[in-house]
Structure 1
Amino acid sequence: MTTSSAHTVRLNARKNDITFTSGLAPTYLQANLICLPSRYAQDFRLLCQRNPVPCPLLAESKSAGSFTELKSWMANITDSAIACDLDLRTDIPRYMVYKDSILVKFQCKDINEDWTEDHVGFLIGCSYSFENALAIAGLPPRHTIMKRNVPMYRTNIPLCPAGVFTGGTFVVSMRPYTLDQIDDVRSVTRPYVGTHGEPIAWGWDAVRALGIKNIDSPEWGDAPLTVDGKPFGLKTEENVVPVFWGCGVTPQEAVMRANLQGVVMAHAPGHMLVMDVKEDEVLDPN
Structure 2
Amino acid sequence: MEQACDDIDAMFSDLLGEMDMLTQSLEVESLHPAVPPALNTDFSFAVGFKDLNESLSALEDTDLDALMADLVADINKVEVETSKGHNSALQDSALPPPPSEDVGVIASSIYIPAFPGSTAVNTGYFSEPLPPPPPLPRPPPDADILLPSKPSETLTQEEIEAKAKADKIKDALEKLKEAKVKKLVIKVHMNDESSKTLMVDERQPVREILDNLFEKTHCDCCVDWCLYEINPDLQIERFFEDHENLVEILLHWTRDSENKILFVEHKEKYAVFRNPQNYYLAKKGKGAEKDMKEKMKESLLEVSKVSQLG
Structure 2-normalised TM-score?
0.19
Structure of greater relative contact order (alpha carbons < 8 Å, 6+ residues apart): 1
Structure 1-normalised TM-score?
0.20
